[in-house]
Structure 1
Amino acid sequence: MGLGGVSIWQLLIVLLIVLVFFGTKKLRNVGSDLGTAVKGFKNAMKDDETAAEPKKIADDAQQAKAETVKDKEQA
């Protein structure tokens, strides 16, 4: 038995039907498009992480400045 009661032969038959129905060129294009989409998503996530980091540093600097002003007022 394979995945969830599906045998390897059933999976191969389904794969063969998909290849006959869509053709290898169409499947290659779909794979290429999917790969491009995943790569774009990863780049967007990386850009988002780098964009969030400078804001955090700026917030920390602003908080430190506010604490310094508060300390001067108390003295």
Structure 2
Amino acid sequence: MGSLSIWHWLIVLLVVVMIFGTKKLRNMGSDLGGAVKGFKDGMKDGSAPETPATPNPQVSANGSNADKSTIDVEARQKS
């Protein structure tokens, strides 16, 4: 009783086909196949080493580039 026989699986398959219909199951199968293919392509593309992006230069309030040793933060008073 712990495992399902082939007859159990055939009955489940018959019920699923009766509920969804063959056309809907075919569409779901092709969508699932396309998703798996897209995932595999994404994993293949993701394995290539990426070049690190250069950060944008910091612009101060007057529009010029800030000094490289200056960190622009807003200080808040403790209450």
Q: Answer yes or no: same fold by TM over 0.5.
A: yes
Deviations 1:36-67 (A, max 9, x none): 000000110111112x1x64xxxxxxxxxxxx
Q: Is the aligned partner of 1:14 residue 2:23?
A: no
Larger gyration radius, structure 1 or structure 2:
2
For residue 29 of structure 1, what is the amino acid of its counterpart? N
Match of 1:45 in 2: 43
SS in 2 for 1:6: coil
Aligned length: 51
Matches within 5 A, 1:25-44: 25-44=23-42
Runs (4+) of structure 1 moved beyond 2 Å?
none
TM-score (norm 1): 0.61
Which ranges in structure 1 are unaligned for 5 or more consecutive residues?
56-75
Superposition RMSD in Å: 1.6
TM-score (norm 2): 0.59
Which ranges in structure 2 are unaligned for 5 or more consecutive residues?
52-79
